[in-house]
């Protein structure tokens, strides 16, 4: 697989988002199966793996640490801080105080079975802590050799600039896909100007852009999509038009909708590294194959034209969670 750069980090063009293996999307696979899937990703050329303290909580880091321990020198691991004790993921639990950041780093290093965290993101902006203090705490960890690079997640342009002035930001992780293009307005130009990489999460629309989710799809009781306004039956029915257009484009390219959605992201800029997640090996194979699909300027214009008249229905998050996006 080709590689790309996130600040000073060299990573595979597609990474693997590991959250769904133990958090947010219903019951995950058995641990041994999840470890096999992560190691299969390595065999396919994936070198960039994303986790967080709050996923599980705690269990996802432990899983990723065990899976990647035998190949640690070949991979880049990203994890996140920002919630206490950790979690649940809610505004009242935001905690990016410097002393907490440093404590999280120590605990994450142990769970990940490593001596250094390659990319350490602030999971969500904490309005109670100046971003300069957050960047300063991560800078201390970098100088101590415990972290290699600093990242932000779902931060606004002003926050990115203020953080970057204290400690260079290697990457921003935020949602970006064919059904969530808000970053194009202000975030992508800011990142391009500052030389910061971009890591789109939910690049497949939390599964919706694959075409595998319909109006009648039932989610597990603890699946986040049950509380997402964008996944109500009404919204799924309305948003099906988007998937149908993408499917038609994919058919013309002898590809799947998921592959077109990922190839589209890769074609936006050479410093964009999507991190699709999955619990299934055949879906992992399908996603990784997207890195071999090249979309030229004409293809991108055709996709924009095909989707231009479709308005996606439903907010991404319930109001309390949307309030944590830092915009």
Catalytic residue positions, numbered: 55
In 3D, which of 142, 51, 59 has the Cα closest to residue 101? 142
Render 70-136 in DSSP notation, one character per residue. Answer: GGGGG-EEEEEE-BSSS--SSGGGB---HHHHHHHHHHHHHHTT-S-EEEEEESS--TTS-HHHHHH
Q: How many CB atoms lie within 10 A of CB 219?
A: 16
- The DSSP call for residue 83 is B
Q: SS3 of 48, please?
A: strand
Q: SS3 of 4, please?
A: strand
**Alpha-carbon gap, residue 215 to 234, rounded angstroms:** 7
């Amino acid at each position: 697989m080709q590689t790309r750069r996130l600040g000073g980090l060299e990573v595979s063009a597609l990474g693997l988002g590991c959250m769904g293996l133990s958090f947010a999307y219903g019951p995950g696979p058995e641990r041994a199966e999840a470890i096999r899937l992560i190691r299969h990703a390595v065999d396919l050329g994936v070198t960039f793996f994303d986790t967080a303290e709050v996923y599980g909580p705690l269990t996802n880091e432990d899983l990723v640490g065990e899976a990647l321990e035998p190949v640690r020198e070949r991979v880049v691991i990203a994890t996140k801080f920002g919630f206490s004790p950790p979690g649940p993921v809610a505004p009242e639990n935001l905690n990016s105080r410097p002393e907490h950041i440093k404590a999280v780093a120590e605990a994450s290093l142990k769970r990940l079975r490593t001596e250094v965290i390659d990319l350490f993101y602030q999971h969500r902006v904490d309005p109670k802590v100046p971003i300069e203090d957050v960047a300063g705490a991560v800078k201390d960890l970098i100088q101590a050799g415990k972290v290699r690079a600093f990242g932000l997640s779902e931060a606004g342009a002003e926050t990115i600039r203020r953080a970057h002035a204290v400690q260079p930001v290697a990457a921003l992780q935020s949602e970006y896909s064919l059904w969530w293009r808000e970053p194009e307005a202000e975030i992508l130009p800011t990142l391009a100007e500052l030389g910061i990489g971009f890591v789109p999460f939910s690049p497949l629309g939390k599964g919706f852009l694959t075409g595998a989710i319909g109006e009648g799809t039932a989610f597990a009781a603890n699946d986040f999509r049950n509380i997402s306004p964008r996944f109500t039956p009404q919204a799924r029915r309305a948003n099906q038009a988007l998937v149908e257009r993408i499917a038609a484009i994919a058919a013309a390219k002898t590809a799947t909708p998921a592959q077109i959605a990922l190839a589209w992201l890769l074609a936006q800029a050479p410093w964009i590294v999507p991190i699709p997640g999955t619990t299934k090996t055949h879906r992992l194979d399908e996603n990784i194959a997207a890195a071999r699909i090249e979309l030229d300027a004409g293809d991108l214009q055709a996709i924009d034209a095909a989707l231009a008249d479709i308005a996606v229905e439903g907010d991404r998050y319930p109001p309390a969670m949307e309030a944590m996006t830092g915009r």
